[in-house]
């Protein structure tokens, strides 16, 4: 054990925190960033083709169908994240209240039905959002994710200590 001071969180997970964590995971994993770029590129291409078609021959049902398809695809992407957050929420609520201790050796999570210990080497990067800290594994999909709600901290200075611990240990890993 190093001389680090531990930080403790105590919380029951909410849907909003899980949704925020999944959004951050998608934006900060290489595969997630690639998916966003492809989606924006397809949208821009579709808008350009539609504008050219409207200027040359007027509206027709084929391009309106393409726009509907694109809109439905975007809505499904959002709905998939929401549904995934709901599924994870059901699992997290089944586990009960989470008590997380973060120190120099790693991260310990204890709940009513589960205990887990993870070393710092498991995670490759971290991202801080308005409500959560998110730790993400270094693989291309960023599959391993740990969402730490800020409201689980006891005091404001704990947030700064947690940020410092995460930064120091993930940089070393």
pTM: 0.77
Residue 34's pLDDT is 84
Residue 63's pLDDT is 64
Residues pairing with 148 in the sheet: 133
| Integer-rounded Cα radius of gyration of the chain | 21
- The SS3 assignment for 100 reads strand
Q: pLDDT tens for the chain, 173 residues: list them.
A: 445 589 999 999 999 999 999 889 888 888 778 877 887 888 788 778 777 777 777 666 556 667 777 778 778 777 887 888 899 999 999 999 999 999 999 999 999 999 999 999 999 999 999 999 999 998 877 888 999 999 999 988 899 999 999 999 987 65
| Per-position b or e across 78-113, b if 16+ CB within 10 A of its CB | eeebeeebeebbeebeeeeebbbbbbebbbbbbbee
Give CA–CA dist 146/169, Å, rounded: 15
Residue 1's pLDDT is 44
Residue 61's pLDDT is 53
Residue 59's pLDDT is 64
Name the nearest CA neighbour of 103 among 6, 3, 1.
6
130 neighbors 136 (Cβ within 8 angstroms): no
């Amino acid at each position: 054990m190093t001389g680090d001071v531990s930080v403790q969180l105590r919380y029951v997970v909410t849907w909003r925190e899980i949704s925020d964590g999944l959004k951050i995971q998608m934006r900060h994993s290489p595969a997630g960033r690639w998916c966003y770029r492809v989606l924006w590129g397809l949208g821009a291409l579709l808008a350009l083709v539609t504008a050219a078609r409207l200027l040359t021959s007027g509206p027709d049902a084929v391009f309106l169908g393409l726009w509907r398809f694109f809109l439905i695809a975007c809505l499904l992407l959002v709905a998939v994240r929401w549904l995934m957050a709901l599924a994870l929420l059901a699992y997290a609520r089944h586990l009960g209240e989470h008590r997380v201790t973060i120190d120099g050796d790693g991260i310990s999570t204890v709940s009513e039905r589960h205990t887990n210990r993870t070393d710092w080497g498991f995670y490759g990067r971290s991202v801080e959002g308005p409500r959560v800290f998110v730790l993400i594994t270094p693989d291309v999909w960023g599959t391993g994710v740990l969402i730490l709600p800020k409201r689980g901290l006891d005091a404001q200075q704990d947030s700064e200590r947690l940020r410092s611990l995460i930064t120091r240990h993930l940089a070393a890993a």
